[in-house]
Amino acid sequence: MALYGTGRERAKPFMGGCSSVQGELDFTSFPHTAPVSAKFHSLPNIILEDKGLKKAIRELKETLYQKENLALLRCASPKLESKVEESYSDFVVRLQDILQEKKKSEIEKLQMH
């Protein structure tokens, strides 16, 4: 992603007029050069000073934690929580698999003794 504008406006991210695309992209259809009137802007100091954008990532996580709700499913025994965007049925299937494995393990232990 490159930042450029005409000089009369604030720099905006240029995405080539495309939204999120899944699958393989044919890059031959994208422009290879910036528009003639485009001027590249340097990155803001806040970005340049933040090595690896660690501070920005931390602040984004904090903001999302405070402002966004995340509904998770939880099982007390065994201690298990659903994954992000995991459906109820997927969580139940995963829980059943874990309990089946635990049951098999306990049966094997009893048979050995």
Domain ranges of the chain: 2-67, 74-112
Strand segments (E) across 36-113: 39-40, 74-75, 80-81
Give the integer Cα–Cα distance in Å for 89 and 14: 40
Residue 6 has pLDDT above 60, yes or no: no
Spatial neighbors of 3 by CB under 8 A, at least 6 apart, are 11, 12, 13, 14, 40, 41, 43
How big is the chain, counted in residues?
A: 113
Tokens found for residue 10? 């604030």
0.85 exceeded by the pTM? no
Contacts of residues 61-67 at CB distance under 8 Å and 24 or more positions apart, as own/partner, are none
Mean pLDDT value across residues 3-32: 54
pLDDT tens string 45-96: 888 888 888 988 999 999 988 998 888 899 998 899 999 889 999 999 999 9
Which range has the top average pLDDT, 14-28, 33-47, 55-69?
A: 55-69
Residue 9 has pLDDT above 60, yes or no: no
